[in-house]
Amino acid sequence: MKKNLRGDSVEKFLRGGYTTGACAAAGVKAALILLTTGEIVDDVEITALDGTPLKIPVAGVEKISDGIRAEVIKFSGDDPDITNGASVFTTVRQIFGDEIIFRAGVGVGHVTKAGLQLPVGEPAINPKPRQLIQSVAAEFNVGGLEVEISIPAGVELAKKTLNPILGVEGGLSIIGTTGVLRPMSEEAFKNSLVPQIDVAVAAGFDELIFVPGKIGETIAKKIGFPEGAIIQTSNFIGFMLEAAAQRNIAKIILCGHVGKLVKVAAGIFHTHNRVADGRLETLAAYSAAEGLPANEVQKILDAATTEEAAQIISANHLERVYKKIATRASLRAMRYVFGKLQVKTILVDFAGNILGSD
């Protein structure tokens, strides 16, 4: 809740939108309306899987040589979704039987790794969007259908997602739990990271390397850790440790920049700087415990970054402090999950040098 200049309460309402799955379902409905009535519609109404009514504009619908193709423009509302504004094309073809067969067109990927919601080889059209499309098709007595979904921009957009890590190749996934897209919550983002663990488990890994970002990932690869075992955690280290413990992972190696992982040594498991910091204070405390003079400790506390603090530690030949911090980070991480898995830690700097590990 925010206040305006008069002190009155002003609440900011974020606009919702609809998922790529809902776009595809709307396209199917527009295509089936044209098929059964000959009418070309500008919008359609569908009911999301949670009962929410959605009225979705249709950019175009036309008969093609072997079916009907509809275009719907993805609208994400105030959610920072990379597919916002992308065209979702749905091509509907009648086939024998009464089943719906799903196909991946341009920009929609295929599953290449086990551990996701779909078998290897399937188009990356998730179960809930399939269910939504099936419910829309059930409104029309048209028999079997082949539904092909294409997102031409998806080939490039997919490179900005976790799809390459998860084993979805060739484009985006058609996703959505209900069809309604609400502005991205922290919980939703955290849950989007967990499938990485499931894919790694399905590939046979019981030792995973957790990296908060690209620096840790680069170092982990240089060290020689298998790529399939490297898991992006973002700032949600504690959440991901719990997810790993629930899946009976035997061992986790935390590998990342000292500025992130020093927080874990201080018992901070959501590492975004707006949530909790303490980087310099932790470095200062451990350096003081190793004998750093008070005036040098103050320099660490006055430093602008952990990289600057690292220069002070190096100038005082106290590099051994990093092993102490790594050991403490591992201990705090194991305590966080009540000893359900083993944790080791590797600290690195921006240049990719390993500062210390346990």
Domain CATH code at residue 158: 3.30.2110.10
**122 touches 111 (CB < 8 A):** yes
Kindly state whether residue 12 falls inside one of the protein's structural domains: no
**pLDDT at residue 326 in the model:** 96
In a domain, 5, yes or no: no
CA distance 68 to 33: 10
Shared domain check, 333 and 194: yes
Domain limit, last residue, from 181, 215, 236: 181
Same domain? For 256 and 333 the reply is yes
Query: Are 128 and 236 within one domain?
Result: no
> Hey, what amino acid is at 22?
A
Q: Residue 199 has what pLDDT?
A: 93
| Closest by CA position to 244, among listed 203, 218, 207 | 207
- Domain boundary among the residues 165, 181, 197 is at 181
Please tell me the predicted confidence (pLDDT) of residue 338: 96
Same domain, 132 and 114: yes
Instruction: Evaluate whether residue 3 is within a structural domain.
Output: no
Q: Is residue 163 part of a domain?
A: yes
pLDDT of residue 132: 95
Residue 118 lies in a domain: yes
Cα angle vertex 34, ends 143, 71, to 5°? 105
Residues 175, 215: one domain?
no
**E-only strand ranges, 38-112:** 43-47, 53-57, 60-64, 67-73, 87-95, 100-104, 107-108, 110-111
Q: Residue 357's closest CA among 227, 265, 292?
A: 265
Alpha helices in 119-249 (DSSP H): 127-137, 154-157, 163-166, 186-193, 195-202, 214-223, 237-246
Give residue 301's identity as a one-letter amino acid code.
Answer: L
In a domain, 131, yes or no: yes
pLDDT recorded at residue 71: 98
Q: Are residues 167 and 305 in the same domain?
A: no
User: Residue 250 belongs to what domain range?
Assistant: 186-357
Q: What is the pLDDT along the chain (358 residues), one digit of tens a residue?
A: 344 333 443 344 557 788 899 999 999 999 999 999 999 999 999 999 988 899 999 999 999 999 999 999 999 876 667 888 999 999 999 999 989 999 999 999 999 998 888 999 999 999 999 999 999 999 998 999 999 999 999 999 999 888 888 889 999 999 877 777 665 557 767 877 899 999 999 999 999 999 998 889 889 999 999 999 999 998 999 999 999 999 999 999 999 999 999 999 999 999 987 788 889 999 999 999 999 999 999 999 998 888 889 999 999 999 999 999 999 999 999 999 999 999 999 999 888 889 999 9
Same domain, 277 and 297: yes
**Shared-domain flag, residues 175 and 195:** no
Give pLDDT, residue 215.
85
User: Do 152 and 202 lie in a common domain?
Assistant: no
What whole-number distance in Å separates Cα of residue 352 and Cα of residue 132?
46
Q: Would you say residue 64 lies in a domain?
A: yes
Give the number of domains in the chain.
2
Shared domain check, 297 and 261: yes
Of 157, 181, 205, the residue at which a domain comes to its end is: 181
Q: Which helix (H) or strand (E) holds 331?
A: helix 321-336
